[in-house]
Structure 1
Amino acid sequence: MSESRITYRPDIDGLRTLAVLPVVLFHMKFDWIEGGFLGVDVFFVISGFLITSILVSDLHSGKFSLREFYKRRVRRILPALTFLNLCVLAFGYLYCFGFDVPEFASQAIASSFSYANIHFWLQAGDYWGKAAEEAPLLHCWSLSVEEQYYLFFPLLLWACWRYLRSFVAPIIAVLVACSLILFLVGMARFPTSAFYLLPTRAWEIGAGALLGLFQHYQIGQSRGVRFGPHAAFAGILVLLGIYLSMPNLAMGAILATLATCTLLQYGNTPGLVCDFLSSAPMRAIGKLSYS
């Protein structure tokens, strides 16, 4: 499959671990990791980087196919998601007092058809509110954001690649900047909408996409040997800092995005960070991160 046409990087599996563990620990109510939910932002950037790298590889080799792309997405996402939905519904029905079958079923349908973020935005509201806290499939909002992004992005990338190839990166950069501005304005005026919806979250996935394009054109690669280990170490420190002592949400998301881009760019340069991220335990957890 297409993933084989890009070089496997074990450090990225380790970076997935640095994304998933803080999210799990945060939802287990450990007070010392108050910014752990920002691991979701790390996942957004990783996803944009990897998927764009795959798409660009396909476009470059003339093997791009929307049908194959969407088939790969369905095969990766749907089996585990369906299993999760069925288990949650069965457990809730059997063991949860006051189980609301229609509402929980609507959550399962929303997650399966990738509009869970819109459903929870309209039905549950504030991510930290009581209604959201009692929604068993709330965490599927981020998966829906990703899938909505990938409903449109491959078409955009294909059109730019075919008709405006010299301007692919600038076009995506402008869209990322517009989304970031929407996010910052939204967090100040409409924080719940800015938290859940694609237009205000696309910049994070898009940042990873830009990095994937830059690496395809080998922009900045020559600096990796000299500065890579130091930059990677700084990226790790920033991630740990925002996980342990989170600033406001907007700043936390920006710092998480910058740190993740730094680690995607330099995390595979030889050094302590590369060894840590590429270690067997980190890779093992990272490979299981989605499921």
Structure 2
Amino acid sequence: MLAYRKEIDGLRAIAVMAVFFHHLGLQLFSGGYVGVDVFFVISGYVIFRSILNELNENTFSVRLFYERRIRRTLPPLILVILLCLVAGLWILTPKEYIEMSKSAIAALFSVSNFYFNDNAGNYFSAAANTIPLLHTWSLGVEEQFYLLVPLLFLKPKKVGVLSRVRNTLLIVIALTFSYNLYEIYYRGGLHDAFYLPIARFWEISIGGLLALTESHWNSKSFPLKSYLVD
């Protein structure tokens, strides 16, 4: 289990506040939406560092990893959705309520980023600020990434986990960052570049790569090295 890191919580707070003030329309935070990008990097670092620590302690389990993710994300998500559904009875029109209900189902299955990519329009438009569960898109991206992450740490014979994971992350970063640039500058697909995991995985992967790099720097006092490296 990863020990508490107050500096990481501090970075998370800065990222969240940047996004919050951006949505308030404060000119000073006109670029505050990049807080989401920062949050993705932090999340990637935390989850990979946690897995590395568990491997070092010989306690890593794919099943337990998924169980922890469900326990960590599902209860607060359900609470937020229920509050929105109750409040929506008084605030939203029938049509808006139906649309919110659809997005709630998508959020529960961690695919709201796909739903909003098809239905929400421009994230930065004024109309987007009135979509109750729009913020769940980023959780969808994270959960789709975390669905795949533990599988990288299953160790085939004679293949070092660290080397394989590092190389995989480098490939993911190169491919998904290239796709992001392709969508933005060639196709003009700002929706796809914003919502789709294939355009976002590079950010979480950078966080994972930072965790792997840190473990390598600390390898003299990190006994996992002999297990992970070819």
TM-score bucket of the superposed structures, by smaller chain = 0.7 to 0.9
Matched residue SS, 1:36: coil
Q: CA deviation at 1:219?
A: 6.6
Deviates more, 1:114-123 or 1:131-140: 131-140
2:79 corresponds to which of 60, 66, 83: 83
Structure 2 portions without partners, runs of 5+ = 221-230
1:105 counterpart letter in structure 2: S
Q: Any residues of structure 2 matched to 1:13-162 within 5 Å, and which?
A: 13-97=9-93, 100-129=96-125, 132-159=128-155
How does the TM-score come out when normalised to structure 2? Answer: 0.87
Do the aligned residues in 1 keep the contact of 2:41 with 2:204 (CA within 8 Å)? yes
1:176 corresponds to which of 173, 176, 182: 173
Give the equivalent residue in structure 1 for 2:226. none
Matched residue SS, 2:217: coil
Give the equivalent residue in structure 1 for 2:227. none
1:217 aligned onto 2:213: no
Q: CA deviation at 1:135?
A: 1.5
Q: CA deviation at 1:69?
A: 0.7
Provide the C-alpha distance between the structure 1 equivalents of 2:67 and 2:43, rounded to a whole number of angstroms. Answer: 17
Matched residue SS, 1:69: helix
C-alpha RMSD of the superposition:
2.2
How does the TM-score come out when normalised to structure 1? Answer: 0.69
Give the equivalent residue in structure 2 for 1:208. 207
Provide the C-alpha distance between the structure 2 equivalents of 1:102 and 1:18, rounded to a whole number of angstroms. Answer: 34
Q: CA deviation at 1:128?
A: 2.2
Q: How many residues align?
A: 217
Q: CA deviation at 1:130?
A: 5.5
Q: Of the two structures, which has the highest relative contact order with CA contacts closer than 8 Å and spacing of 6 or more? A: 1
Cα gap change, 1:86 to 1:32, in 2 (>3 Å): same
Deviates more, 1:68-77 or 1:152-161: 152-161
Q: Name the % identity.
A: 40
Provide the C-alpha distance between the structure 2 equivalents of 1:23 and 1:215, rounded to a whole number of angstroms. Answer: 28
Cα gap change, 1:162 to 1:45, in 2 (>3 Å): farther
Structure 1 portions without partners, runs of 5+ = 222-291
Cα gap change, 1:71 to 1:116, in 2 (>3 Å): same
Provide the C-alpha distance between the structure 2 equivalents of 1:161 and 1:137, rounded to a whole number of angstroms. Answer: 44
2:63 counterpart letter in structure 1: R
Cα gap change, 1:114 to 1:220, in 2 (>3 Å): same
Do the aligned residues in 2 keep the contact of 1:22 with 1:33 (CA within 8 Å)? yes
Matched residue SS, 2:12: helix
Provide the C-alpha distance between the structure 2 equivalents of 1:208 and 1:162, rounded to a whole number of angstroms. Answer: 26
Q: CA deviation at 1:160?
A: 7.1
Deviates more, 1:154-163 or 1:31-40: 154-163
